[in-house]
Amino acid sequence: MLDVIGNFFGSGGFIPHGHCYLWQPELVWLHVVSDSLIALAYYSIPVTLLYFVSKRQDLPFDWIFLLFGMFIVACGTTHIMDVWTLWHPTYWLSGTIKLITACVSLYTAAMLVPVVSKALTLPSPEQLEAANRNLEQEITERQQAETALRQSEARYRAIVEDQTELIIRYLPDSTTLFVNGAFCRYFGLTQDEMVGKSFEPRIYADDREKVAQQIQSMSSENPTITVENRVLVGEEIHWTQWNNRMIFDSQGRFVECQGVGRDITERKHREAMLQSIVEGVAAATGKNFCRCLVRELANAMQVRFAFIAELVDGDRDRARLLALWTGTDYSETFEYETQGTPCEHVVGRELAIFPSNVQACFPDDLWLKEAGIESYLAIPLFSATGAALGHLGVMHNQPLRPEISTEPILKILRLVLELNWSANKLRNSYRLPMPKCWPCLPRWTIW
């Protein structure tokens, strides 16, 4: 084995190729320089091909370039061996390299035939130019279609530019042209029942005359009006707000009317609730103001308990009730610890709500269990400088009603209380002496 390897890389008794040139320096160096330059060129070409293939990821038949690179490298190596064998007669090694070059060459030539047939099917520059012209025409047509679509979308936006909840469009003779799904779901109707039929608004009887007068006031000078009225939704009465708009054609003729509405029942309930509270406390001042406020708040929110508490000397762990309405009468005022009660989540923080099961959240507050409290909602009170003053809240022996949001009402009342507090109108001698202990009122009973 070693002999085979030795013969392969050895001279094997052969004479160097330079003897064939009789070692004439001019002839020897002519071959050395020529073969070296050829090898250098052969080695540089694959590098260029490799760089080209790496930069053109979309190039078809990229593998043929790599195959050409291998073929060219092999050819360059044969020229290097020609230089080597001028002085070193390793002809077995040189012949083997030529054999490898021959195999790579034959394989490249064989693979090139199908590649050429496929390459001939690629489009010519003239064909590419024609394809580009067709593509430009398609782009132009697409742009025109997109322009038409944008115009259509603009017409659609004209329908919903004011409100997007309940939408209806109808002709001047009241024939319905369009209603959206929200409108149908709200009134329990289908589009088949509406479109193409005469539009008859389901307005509450007492509001019909007012709505009719406002609709009649619309004109080209006053094409848009906003109407708030009650409607019949099944057997229920709901409040809605409508933005009605007249639509004119290019000649200025009235061709359609659109109405975009939304349900404002919750807002109207809050307004009525706030109005009731304001009327109930309008004439009250001082301590009576707090007592009237909690009573009216409980009645308006339909809960059993409502209260106002202040912090004792700014201590967030102790509070003093200024007023507590229990559903039928006022409770005596007293001081209590806030820790372990829902109040500790309110004082100096944000609105706290326990819509149900508040007893389980505060098992140490036994008064909640004795009073049958199921839900709790309170909001903190702050001074003009941001210091915590106390809190305003309600409690009920049932879960709080989810259909009406009372947070805006409490925030308005909080503002009223804080303004009155700053004016010192609420602090009219209801300070109680703080006993050293509460023998008959354990910690959980003093709020």
Verify that 20 and 99 share a domain, yes or no. yes
Report the number of distinct structural domains present in the chain: 3
Q: What is the DSSP string of 239-289?
A: EEEEEEEEEE-TTS-EEEEEEEEEE-HHHHHHHHHHHHHHHHHTT--HHHH
The last residue of a domain, from among 52, 85, 119: 119
Verify that 420 and 356 share a domain, yes or no. yes
- 272, 403 contact by CB (below 8 A): no
What is the C-alpha to C-alpha distance for residues 6 and 97, in angstroms, rounded to an integer?
Answer: 17
Token pair, residue 201, equals 């608004």
| Residue at 37 is within a domain | yes
| Residue at 59 is within a domain | yes
Rg value, the chain, Cα: 47
24-33, 337-346, 436-445 — which is least confidently predicted?
436-445
| Residue-number span of the structural domain to which 110 is assigned | 2-119
Verify that 225 and 295 share a domain, yes or no. no
HSE-CB for 34 with a 13 A CA cutoff: 7
- 259, 229 contact by CB (below 8 A): no
What is the C-alpha to C-alpha distance for residues 176 and 178, in angstroms, rounded to an integer?
Answer: 6
- 397, 411 contact by CB (below 8 A): no
* pLDDT averaged over every residue in the chain: 78
Verify that 281 and 393 share a domain, yes or no. yes
The last residue of a domain, from among 200, 235, 263: 263
* 243 CB-contact burial (10 Å; exposed 0-12 / middle 13-18 / buried 19+): middle
| Residue at 129 is within a domain | no
Verify that 43 and 113 share a domain, yes or no. yes
What is the C-alpha to C-alpha distance for residues 311 and 343, in angstroms, rounded to an integer?
Answer: 11
Q: Assign 325 to helix, strand or coil.
A: strand
Verify that 293 and 379 share a domain, yes or no. yes
Beta-bridged to residue 395, according to DSSP, are 305, 376
| Residue at 126 is within a domain | no
Verify that 231 and 355 share a domain, yes or no. no
- 255, 249 contact by CB (below 8 A): yes
Token pair, residue 359, equals 């007893």
* Per-residue pLDDT tens over the stretch 57-101: 766 766 677 777 787 888 888 888 888 877 888 877 777 888 888
Q: What is the DSSP letter of 203?
A: B
For the ranges 238-242, 288-292, 440-444, the maximum mean pLDDT occurs at 238-242
Verify that 402 and 419 share a domain, yes or no. yes
| Residue at 430 is within a domain | yes
173: domain CATH number is 3.30.450.20
Verify that 384 and 287 share a domain, yes or no. yes
Verify that 255 and 274 share a domain, yes or no. no
For the ranges 150-159, 296-305, 426-435, the maximum mean pLDDT occurs at 296-305
Verify that 251 and 291 share a domain, yes or no. no
Q: C-alpha distances in angstroms, 155 versus 39, 147, 444?
A: 73, 12, 65
What is the C-alpha to C-alpha distance for residues 270 and 408, in angstroms, rounded to an integer?
Answer: 8
Work out the widest C-alpha separation in the chain, in whole angstroms.
134
355: domain CATH number is 3.30.450.40
pLDDT the model gives residue 268: 80
Intra-chain end-to-end CA distance of the chain, in Å: 105
What is the C-alpha to C-alpha distance for residues 189 and 207, in angstroms, rounded to an integer?
Answer: 22
What is the C-alpha to C-alpha distance for residues 395 and 299, in angstroms, rounded to an integer?
Answer: 12
Verify that 226 and 251 share a domain, yes or no. yes
The last residue of a domain, from among 263, 286, 301: 263
pLDDT greater than 70 at residue 287:
no
| Residue at 133 is within a domain | no
Q: What is the DSSP string of 215-238?
A: HHT--SSS-EEEEEEEEEETTEEE
Q: What is the DSSP letter of 164?
A: S
Q: What is the DSSP letter of 339?
A: T
What is the C-alpha to C-alpha distance for residues 26 and 139, in angstroms, rounded to an integer?
Answer: 68
Q: Assign 190 to helix, strand or coil.
A: coil
Q: Which pLDDT band, with edges at 50, 70 and 90, does 436 fall under?
A: very low
| Residue at 340 is within a domain | yes
What is the C-alpha to C-alpha distance for residues 155 and 180, in angstroms, rounded to an integer?
Answer: 15
* Per-residue pLDDT tens over the stretch 195-222: 888 877 788 888 888 888 888 888 888 8
- 92, 13 contact by CB (below 8 A): no
* Per-residue pLDDT tens over the stretch 111-128: 777 777 776 666 667 777
340 versus 71: the higher-pLDDT residue is: 340
Token pair, residue 231, equals 């409607």
| Residue at 40 is within a domain | yes
What is the C-alpha to C-alpha distance for residues 154 and 117, in angstroms, rounded to an integer?
Answer: 53
Residue entry with tokens 């370039």: 65
